Amino acid sequence: MECQECHQRSATVHLTQVVNGQKSEIHVCEKCAKEKGYMNYGEENFTLNDLLSGLFHSEGPSPLKGQSPQSYAQKPKLKCDNCGLTYDEFARIGKFGCGVCYETFDERLNPILRRVHSGNTKHDGKIPKREGGNLHLKKEMEEYKTNLRQLIEQEEFEEAAKVRDKIRSLEDQLHNGEDGDV
């Protein structure tokens, strides 16, 4: 495929951008890509950190060719009160400065976590049976409580009463120190 800019070299850089459902594709050679700013990571190799940091830069649509970046409303810069790390610095280096950063940048992290974890923002890892102890019961109880809230909202009170009884049974098991399955 020929470069869409210079029409002299083979296109080796293929970019696809989707904004508001409109898909646009650009096929250019490496030299034209650097000249036009499509490749902004310099002469050094593209690292895994560069790839992953791309997840942090999807705040919204980016300016298309011929549009100025000033035409987009800019959000106020987030900064951690504890360590002073800004969101832009975090996005560039890919690491938090402290534990408070998780809370400070929470609003911007959830969309990233959803993309990385197929729509989930909560990690529900496996619990080993021999080591889990009461964790299995607590996890099951949380699932029942979520189900109970949904049933109450849907006004399915008979089913909600059954779930409530299961929760009480699990609570009794936790308080009595039993370690069995329900």
H helix and E strand count, the chain: 8, 2
Percent residues over pLDDT 90 in the chain: 21
Average of per-residue pLDDT across 159-169:
93
Question: Residue 155 has what pLDDT?
Answer: 92
Separation of alpha carbons 48 and 126, rounded Å:
27
Q: What confidence category does residue 134 fall into, taking pLDDT thresholds of 50, 70 and 90?
A: confident
What predicted TM-score, i.e. pTM, was given to this entire model? 0.35
Separation of alpha carbons 54 and 93, rounded Å:
11
User: Which pairing describes strands 22-28 and 13-19: parallel, antiparallel, or unpaired?
Assistant: antiparallel
Residue corresponding to tokens 């296109």 = 11
**57: pLDDT strictly greater than 70:** no
* DSSP assignment letter at 128: -
Separation of alpha carbons 81 and 178, rounded Å:
44
| Residue closest to 38 by CA, chosen among 53, 51, 28, 24 | 28
Average of per-residue pLDDT across 110-115:
75
